[in-house]
């Protein structure tokens, strides 16, 4: 067992208050800590909104812009749809304690594959074309993470760094494509886009109880269910749990750890690629555009982390982040930046969640007053003290 | 009261009523501990007795929950290792805590107030050379730590502590990874430090004989409690072992003769490399027959890990041949070894043998999940897995109600019991066992050893790799000595096993043995 | 003044490379003590907006720069508190920091959006040197902060490899457990250097808002922070190579403009992505070189790992 103790600085800070942060031998209840931190984060954010605006109308607006109206619900679900899939992509990698920070890039490459196939096979009818587009997107997303995956498995190259770098390559590649051969002559300003994909290659919208949303959401939920089943009740899932717990134990159990590691990261990249094409075919932007992602890939990592890597919870957390972003745009009219709502609040909650998880490593204990000084008798004669100690506590 | 009437040296350290908890575990419970100036004091106890924790408190790494410390009679609060060093207390940890990518000189000067503010490699290497001469500790200042042997690393760690003016030197299990020859050298150094320069030395150990050989006084801890402090000359090993474990330990050789079967494991001219790509095994020949225990003795780092890994498919061979029951496995992977009936009790059971983040059930099927009934096609059959886990738990005598409990809730002994049972279940033919009893308490040690002997009686071929020479001698029918990746000696007659001879070979004395 | 193409490229390399260099120096300090600050882009934005605001309010550019450094340091202090003191996951907290920085900077900067900096950073012509023909006006007529940015890596290298202080810094990122045992207070060192790094990253933001563009617009860093992160890796965590990396990456980023004026056929995006591909290649080649050296490598070995004092 590893015995740990908090550092000096932390002790000092807490000591001032008469409390002491104590390292646990193993973290407890990370989920509970994370949830508590998220709740605290939201509460702080609401208080901040109140302080910043001081207008009761703000909360009203937030309410109506999110869960208070059909339009609000429709907004949330549309925003959540791509986040479910990018969240799942990040969560797949987390099962093996890998960080696929490249979801953003794979998302773009998935959309690229979709648009490329759609333009090449423009005359094809809807269903087979869409099937091809999705398959191509999965392959392209997986291909985009192949080098980091192999480098990690065989040379132990930090996948956080490599996948992150490839995001920028993907984004620049996108800019090249969107300004190059398939450029939409109408696109202008800083947003570059290709022309729209053919009509039959778009996913229809869905309407439930008069709430409209992208069919990508249904796809995301289906993928979440499939992943959940696969990881729960196949030997593949068992192997991932084993290697995720300890790579050494994985090799020991006869698992080809490197191959499994590559496979899991490719799966993660594939899901991210599907997220890209699903968003393009099902969302408002029916083209390959620089505005396509809006940090969806990065927010997906946030979703996966907040969900503790659990597939079903990813779906829920995507909704939560969707709601936060909706709330952000609802506030825009009140002279509060929507960026503050969408990014700032997400970031803040992510930071809180990280702190919550960090705190799960500790417990708070009332500082016991130490007996600093000795009874006078003992101090007078060290030898007597020694004698008393040596004898009375012997066997 | 044995300790107080002898010796008149002043008390350098008095620890009083020290309590240290980790979560709900009380690691050190109301312990008093004294050090006389200039003595060599052995701190003796089993694994988990609280020796290291107690000394971590004295060296400032941990803060006691209760109790106080007097240095030279003055109540003192020791806030950090740095603070401890300022007061003349230095600890050399079991893992020397040296920065492996740094040079010896850099490690010596790291975090040291007396290092020059501006330093160049040449300058600190020169200073290191001077220190090395002053303390008669031979080190190469420009070498990087990872290039050094463990014995050399230990010298660096000791030199670093001494250089910072430690008058009280705490050595945590300093002999654990040393060859007998290196141990003698260390003992010589300890004696010199204590007699010539008057330093006080705490020698943490779980080895009775060593403690008695080197120390002036001995303190015994058990289960976090102080059991007694004695002058070394008043002690007998029997009495100390009774204090350590609460009863006397009598290991008897209860090995019935077993009819040896065919060659179950045959390895010829095995060669392989370590993680750095350097040769780790050189043409090693090992043969184990059914019903035989072959012990491999050696100091850690002489190829034991690589030997166990090649024989279980975890490490590729660069040359040589492995056969199990007549089947060639020279190029095979861990799965194939398992399928051929090779079980493996690995060196580090918590990192390799078990998945600590998972349940008992998950761990129970670790060797069975790729075969029916647990597996059907790509599916893992939950019910079958549960039944398998319950069956295994029952076989090894684990009294647990729920196999879905996390495996980390098991005690060390129970975890090893589960692991051993699982491996014996998986492998009918060969078992490669590495340090099977390390870190276990006496009761569990006996039980694991009995399990191995019973397996032997049923015709399993066992290769036992252990640092514990006594264990190897007690269990083995034959002993091989591994030194620098090669077999340097073989002892075939259990009645003639000779500790001294084996020890010499382990240390590299190349005398031909019978 | 008509510039030759290569002169324009060199000029742009320095103009764009200097803030990258400042940011990369800050990131390097954090990573060298083992803290991977993935939120660098957000910190840079906070520095940009903070510097702009303080300079506008105080009416003084130096006070503005101090403000930028304080904004950066204070913002990273949050991150340090989470990751170093509470041992929260660095990737999660870093992403949080980035997103928070994006949102917070655009919010607090709203009153200043679109205004010009009244007190921008001055240009310095280095006496004598700037009159050198061909290169003088390219190399020696820059914002004074650009010269500071150029000198910082030298200073870092000097401290890191030639002082006791630097030995301690390196040990904390390499093997915090051993550093702790040797008497280096890991938590304090990590917090101090990640925060100090944050101050430099904040300065790099102000380089943009008070120097290059002389105004504040939301998201104005447009990925320069990420490039700073890439430069640290590209340089193999060696301070002096940061200079090479930053100007190289800055120059390649400037190619958009240059390719247009030069009438090249190569799409500028393809050239701009080269440094990122190069960084991946550097990582992989480095790992290949050190594949048999489990104890060594280019990256600080404890990078991204929380430190728990253990026994």
**pLDDT-above-90 percentage for chain A:** 27
Q: What is the pLDDT of residue B156?
A: 92
Q: What is the pLDDT of residue B512?
A: 44
To probe the interface with C, which of B110, B143, B144, B301 has the most C CB atoms within 10 Å?
B110
Cβ distance B75 to A372 less than 8 Å, yes or no, reads yes
Report the candidate in C309, C225, C301 with the shortest Cα–Cα distance to residue C34.
Answer: C301
Cβ distance C230 to A165 less than 8 Å, yes or no, reads yes
Q: What is the pLDDT of residue B136?
A: 82
Q: What is the pLDDT of residue A382?
A: 35
Q: Which residues of A touch C104 (CB under 8 A)?
A: 340, 344, 347
CA B369 to CA A305: how far, in whole Å? Answer: 29
Q: Which residues of C touch A8 (CB under 8 A)?
A: 185, 187-188
pLDDT at C223 over 90: no
Q: What is the pLDDT of residue B357?
A: 84
- Portion 84-113 of A in contact with C at CB < 8 A: 99, 101
Best mean pLDDT range from A141-145, B130-134, C124-128:
A141-145
| Band (C190; pLDDT cuts 50, 70, 90) | very high
pLDDT tens-digit series, residues B353-381: 888 888 888 988 888 888 888 888 888 88
Task: Using CB atoms, pick whichever of C185, C292, C311 lies closest to residue B61.
Answer: C311
pLDDT at A291 over 60: yes
Q: What is the mean pLDDT of chain C?
A: 87
| Band (C261; pLDDT cuts 50, 70, 90) | low
CA A24 to CA A3: how far, in whole Å? Answer: 8
CA B35 to CA B59: how far, in whole Å? Answer: 13
Token readout for C60 is: 């003084």
pLDDT at C17 over 80: yes
Q: How far, in Å, are A387, B235, B237 from residue B232 at the CA level? A: 17, 5, 10
Q: Are C304 and C89 in contact (CB under 8 A)?
A: no
| Band (C133; pLDDT cuts 50, 70, 90) | confident
pLDDT at C183 over 50: yes
Residue A76, burial from CB neighbour count under 10 angstroms (0-12, 13-18, 19+): buried
Over the Cα atoms of chain B, what is R_g? Answer: 25
Task: Give rounded-to-5 percent helix, strand, coil for chain A.
Answer: 70, 5, 25
> Which residues, listed in sequence order, are joined to residue A352 by a DSSP beta bridge?
none
| Band (A321; pLDDT cuts 50, 70, 90) | confident
In chain C, whose CA is at the least distance from the CA of B114?
Answer: C164
Report the candidate in B52, B161, B186, B168 with the shortest Cα–Cα distance to residue B107.
Answer: B161
Report the candidate in C125, C78, C114, C127 with the shortest Cα–Cα distance to residue C99.
Answer: C78
In chain B, whose CA is at the least distance from the CA of C308?
Answer: B61
Average pLDDT rounded to a whole number, residues A360-387: 44
Q: Strand ranges (DSSP E) for chain A? A: 4-5, 19-23, 205-208, 211-214, 362-366
Q: What is the pLDDT of residue B179?
A: 67
CA B1 to CA A248: how far, in whole Å? Answer: 50
- Say if A258 is an interface residue toward chain B (CB within 8 Å): no
Instruction: Write down all domains in chain C, each with its CATH number in brackets.
Output: 5-289 (1.10.3470)
| Band (C177; pLDDT cuts 50, 70, 90) | confident
In chain C, whose CA is at the least distance from the CA of A170?
Answer: C273
pLDDT tens-digit series, residues B147-189: 887 788 888 999 999 998 889 999 988 887 776 677 888 888 8
Q: What is the mean pLDDT of chain B?
A: 84
pLDDT at A370 over 60: no
Three-state secondary structure call for residue A359: helix
Q: Domain ranges in chain A?
A: 56-333
CA A145 to CA A166: how far, in whole Å? Answer: 8
pLDDT at A385 over 50: no
pLDDT at A223 over 90: yes
- Say if A175 is an interface residue toward chain C (CB within 8 Å): yes
Q: If one looks up domain A56-333 in CATH, what number appears?
A: 1.10.3470
| Band (A369; pLDDT cuts 50, 70, 90) | very low
Least confident of A65-69, A319-323, A368-372, C63-67: A368-372
Q: Which residues of B touch C176 (CB under 8 A)?
A: none
- Say if B23 is an interface residue toward chain C (CB within 8 Å): no
Q: Which of the pair, C146 or B241, is modelled with greater confidence?
A: C146
Q: Determine the distance in angstroms separating the CA of C34 from the nearest CA of chain B, rounded to an integer.
A: 14
Average pLDDT rounded to a whole number, residues B86-92: 90
Chain C neighbors (3+ CB pairs < 8 Å): A, B
Cβ distance C178 to B97 less than 8 Å, yes or no, reads yes
pLDDT at C24 over 80: yes
Average pLDDT rounded to a whole number, residues B261-266: 87
- Portion 116-175 of B in contact with C at CB < 8 A: 116-120, 144-146, 160, 164
Q: What is the pLDDT of residue C309?
A: 63
Cβ distance A390 to B32 less than 8 Å, yes or no, reads yes
Q: What is the pLDDT of residue C205?
A: 95
Q: What is the pLDDT of residue A25?
A: 56
Q: How far, in Å, are B299, B443, C306 from residue B150 at the CA level? A: 10, 31, 27
Average pLDDT rounded to a whole number, residues B72-92: 87
Q: Determine the distance in angstroms separating the CA of C291 from the nearest CA of chain B, rounded to an integer.
A: 7
Q: What is the pLDDT of residue B443?
A: 73
| Band (A1; pLDDT cuts 50, 70, 90) | very low
- Say if C67 is an interface residue toward chain A (CB within 8 Å): no
To probe the interface with C, which of A44, A145, A177, A343 has the most C CB atoms within 10 Å?
A343
Element (H, E) at B127: helix B121-134
Q: Which residues of C touch B82 (CB under 8 A)?
A: 183, 185
In chain A, whose CA is at the least distance from the CA of B31?
Answer: A393
pLDDT at C158 over 90: yes
CA A388 to CA A395: how far, in whole Å? Answer: 14
| Band (A24; pLDDT cuts 50, 70, 90) | low
**How many CA atoms lie within 13 Å of B291's alpha carbon, on the beta-carbon side?**
11
| Band (B197; pLDDT cuts 50, 70, 90) | confident
Q: What is the pLDDT of residue A394?
A: 30
Cβ distance B61 to C309 less than 8 Å, yes or no, reads yes
**pLDDT-above-90 percentage for chain B:** 19
Q: What is the mean pLDDT of chain A?
A: 78
Q: Which residues of C touch A168 (CB under 8 A)?
A: 223, 226-227, 230, 273, 276
Cβ distance B53 to C171 less than 8 Å, yes or no, reads no
**pLDDT-above-90 percentage for chain C:** 44
In chain C, whose CA is at the least distance from the CA of A331?
Answer: C107
Token readout for A298 is: 């990065």
Cβ distance C311 to B56 less than 8 Å, yes or no, reads yes
- Say if A310 is an interface residue toward chain B (CB within 8 Å): no
- Say if A371 is an interface residue toward chain B (CB within 8 Å): yes
Three-state secondary structure call for residue C291: coil
Q: Which of the pair, C202 or B300, is modelled with greater confidence?
A: C202
Q: What is the pLDDT of residue B180?
A: 64
Pairing relation of β-strands B66-71 and B319-324? Answer: unpaired
Over the Cα atoms of chain A, what is R_g? Answer: 26
Q: What is the pLDDT of residue A271?
A: 96
| Band (B89; pLDDT cuts 50, 70, 90) | very high
Average pLDDT rounded to a whole number, residues B329-339: 87
Q: How far, in Å, are A317, A327, B128, B455 from residue A344 at the CA level? A: 17, 12, 53, 63
pLDDT at A345 over 50: yes
In chain B, whose CA is at the least distance from the CA of C178?
Answer: B97
Instruction: Write down all domains in chain B, each with its CATH number in brackets.
Output: 11-88+167-245 (3.40.50.300), 98-164 (no CATH), 264-351+417-506 (3.40.50.300), 358-405 (no CATH)
- Portion 21-50 of A in contact with B at CB < 8 A: 24-26
> Which residues, listed in sequence order, are joined to residue B90 by a DSSP beta bridge?
B169
Cβ distance B277 to C292 less than 8 Å, yes or no, reads yes
Who's near A302: CB < 8 A, 6+ residues apart?
A: A321, A346, A349, A350, C92, C95, C96, C99
Q: Determine the distance in angstroms separating the CA of B82 from the nearest CA of chain C, rounded to an integer.
A: 5
Q: Are C25 and C153 in contact (CB under 8 A)?
A: yes
pLDDT at A368 over 50: no
Average pLDDT rounded to a whole number, residues A225-234: 93
Pairing relation of β-strands B478-483 and B486-491? Answer: antiparallel
pLDDT at B7 over 60: no
Average pLDDT rounded to a whole number, residues B286-304: 87
């Amino acid at each position: 067992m590893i015995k740990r103790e908090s550092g000096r600085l932390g002790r000092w800070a807490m000591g001032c208050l008469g409390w002491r942060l104590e390292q646990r031998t193993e973290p407890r209840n990370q989920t509970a800590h994370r949830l508590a931190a998220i709740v605290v984060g939201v509460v702080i954010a609401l208080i901040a909104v109140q302080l910043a605006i001081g207008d009761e109308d703000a909360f009203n607006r937030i309410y109506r812009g999110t869960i208070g109206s059909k339009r609000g619900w429709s907004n949330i679900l549309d925003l959540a749809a791509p986040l479910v899939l990018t969240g799942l992509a990040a969560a797949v990698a987390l099962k093996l304690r890998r960080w696929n920070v490249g979801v953003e890039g794979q998302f773009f490459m998935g959309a690229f594959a979709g648009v490329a196939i759609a333009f090449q096979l423009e005359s094809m009818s809807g269903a087979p074309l869409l099937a091809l587009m999705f398959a191509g997107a999965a392959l392209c997303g997986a291909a985009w993470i192949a080098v980091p995956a192999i480098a990690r498995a065989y040379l132990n190259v930090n996948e956080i760094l490599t996948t992150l770098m490839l995001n920028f390559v993907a984004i620049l590649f996108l800019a090249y494509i969107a300004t190059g051969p398939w450029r939409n002559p109408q696109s202008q300003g800083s947003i570059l886009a290709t022309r729209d994909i053919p009509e039959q290659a778009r996913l229809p919208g869905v309407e439930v109880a008069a709430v409209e949303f992208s069919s990508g959401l249904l796809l995301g939920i289906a993928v979440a269910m499939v992943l959940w089943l696969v990881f729960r009740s196949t030997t593949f899932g068992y192997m991932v749990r084993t290697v995720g717990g300890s790579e050494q134990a994985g090799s020991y159990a006869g698992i080809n750890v490197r191959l499994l590691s590559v496979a899991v990261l490719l799966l993660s990249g594939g899901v991210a690629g599907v997220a890209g094409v699903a968003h393009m075919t099902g969302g408002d932007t029916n083209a390959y555009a620089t505005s396509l992602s809006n940090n969806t890939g990065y927010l997906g990592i946030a979703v996966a982390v907040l969900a503790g890597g659990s597939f079903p919870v990813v779906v829920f957390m995507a909704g939560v982040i969707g709601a936060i972003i909706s709330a952000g745009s609802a506030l825009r009219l009140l002279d509060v930046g929507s960026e503050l709502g969408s990014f700032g609040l997400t970031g803040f909650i992510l930071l809180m969640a990280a702190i919550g998880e960090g705190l799960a490593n500790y417990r708070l204990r009332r500082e016991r007053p130490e007996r600093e000084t000795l009874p006078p008798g003992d101090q007078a004669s060290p030898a007597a003290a020694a004698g008393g100690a040596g004898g009375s506590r012997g066997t | 009261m044995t300790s107080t009437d002898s010796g008149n040296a002043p008390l350098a350290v008095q620890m009083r009523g020290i309590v240290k908890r980790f979560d709900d575990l009380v690691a050190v419970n109301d312990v008093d501990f004294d050090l006389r100036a200039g003595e060599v004091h052995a701190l003796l106890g089993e694994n988990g007795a609280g020796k290291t924790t107690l000394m971590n408190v004295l060296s400032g790494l941990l803060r006691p929950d209760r109790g106080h410390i007097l240095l030279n009679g003055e109540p003192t609060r020791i806030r950090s290792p740095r603070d401890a060093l300022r007061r003349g207390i230095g600890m050399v940890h079991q893992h020397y805590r040296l920065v492996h990518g740094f040079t010896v000189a850099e490690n010596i000067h790291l975090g040291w107030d007396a290092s020059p503010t501006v330093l160049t490699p040449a300058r600190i290497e020169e200073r290191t050379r001077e220190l090395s001469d002053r303390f008669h500790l031979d080190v190469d200042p420009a070498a990087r730590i990872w290039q050094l042997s463990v014995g050399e690393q230990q010298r660096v760690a000791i030199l670093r502590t001494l250089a910072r003016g430690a008058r009280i030197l705490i050595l945590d299990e300093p002999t654990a990874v040393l060859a007998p020859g290196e141990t003698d050298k260390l003992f010589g150094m300890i004696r010199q430090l204590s007699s010539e320069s008057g330093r006080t030395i705490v020698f943490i150990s779980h080895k009775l004989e060593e403690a008695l050989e080197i120390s002036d006084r001995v303190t015994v801890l058990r289960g976090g409690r102080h059991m007694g402090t004695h002058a070394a000359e008043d002690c007998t090993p029997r009495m100390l072992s009774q204090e350590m474990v609460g009863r006397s330990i009598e290991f008897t050789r209860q090995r019935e003769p077993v009819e040896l079967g065919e060659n179950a494991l045959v390895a010829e001219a095995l060669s392989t490399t370590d993680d750095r790509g350097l040769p780790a095994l050189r043409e090693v020949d090992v043969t184990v027959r059914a019903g035989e225990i072959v012990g491999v003795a050696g100091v850690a780092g002489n190829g034991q890990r690589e030997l166990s890994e090649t024989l279980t498919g975890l490490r590729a061979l660069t040359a040589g041949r492995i056969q199990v029951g007549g089947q060639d496995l020279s190029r095979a992977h861990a799965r194939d070894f398992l399928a051929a009936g090779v079980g493996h009790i690995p060196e580090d059971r918590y990192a390799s043998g078990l998945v600590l983040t998972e349940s008992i059930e998950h761990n129970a099927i670790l060797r069975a999940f790729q075969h029916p009934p647990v597996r059907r096609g790509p599916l893992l059959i939950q019910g079958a897995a549960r039944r398998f886990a319950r069956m295994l738990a029952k076989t090894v005598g684990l009294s647990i109600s729920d196999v879905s409990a996390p495996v980390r809730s098991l005690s060390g002994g129970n975890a090893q019991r589960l692991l051993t049972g699982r491996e014996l279940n998986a492998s009918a033919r060969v078992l490669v066992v590495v340090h099977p009893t390390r870190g276990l308490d006496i009761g569990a040690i006996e039980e694991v050893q009995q399990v191995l002997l019973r397996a032997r009686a049923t015709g399993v071929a066992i290769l036992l790799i252990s640092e514990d020479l006594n264990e190897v001698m007690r269990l083995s029918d034959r002993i091989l000595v591994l030194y620098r990746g090669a077999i340097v000696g073989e002892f075939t007659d259990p009645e003639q096993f000779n500790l001294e001879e084996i020890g010499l070979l382990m240390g590299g004395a190349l005398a031909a043995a019978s | 003044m008509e510039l030759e193409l290569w002169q324009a490229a060199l000029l742009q390399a320095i103009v764009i490379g200097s803030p990258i260099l400042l940011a990369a120096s800050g990131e390097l300090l954090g990573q060298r003590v083992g803290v991977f600050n993935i939120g660098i882009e957000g910190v840079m934005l906070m520095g940009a907006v903070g510097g702009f605001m303080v300079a506008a309010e105080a009416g003084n550019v130096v006070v503005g720069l101090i403000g930028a450094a304080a904004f950066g340091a204070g913002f990273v202090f949050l991150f340090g508190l989470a990751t170093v003191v509470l041992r929260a996951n660095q990737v999660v907290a870093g992403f949080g920091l980035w997103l928070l920085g994006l949102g917070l900077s655009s919010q607090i900067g709203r009153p200043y959006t679109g205004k010009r900096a009244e007190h921008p950073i001055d240009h310095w012509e280095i006496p004598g040197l700037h009159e050198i023909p061909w290169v003088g006006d390219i190399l020696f007529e820059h914002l004074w902060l650009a010269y500071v940015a150029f000198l910082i890596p030298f200073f870092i290298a000097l401290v890191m490899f030639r002082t006791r202080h630097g030995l301690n810094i390196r040990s904390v990122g390499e093997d915090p457990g051993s550093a702790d045992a040797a008497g280096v207070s890991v938590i304090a060192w990590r917090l101090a250097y990640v925060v100090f790094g944050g101050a430099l990253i904040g300065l790099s933001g102000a380089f943009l808002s008070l120097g290059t563009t002389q105004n504040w617009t939301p998201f104005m860093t447009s990925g320069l922070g990420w490039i700073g992160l890439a430069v640290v890796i590209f340089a193999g965590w060696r301070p002096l190579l940061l200079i090479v990396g930053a100007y190289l990456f800055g120059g390649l980023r400037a190619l958009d403009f240059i390719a247009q004026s030069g009438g090249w056929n190569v799409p500028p995006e393809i050239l701009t992505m080269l440094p990122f591909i190069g960084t991946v290649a550097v990582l992989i080649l480095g790992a290949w070189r050190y594949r048999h050296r489990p104890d060594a490598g280019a990256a600080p070995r404890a990078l991204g790992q929380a430190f728990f004092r253990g026994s």
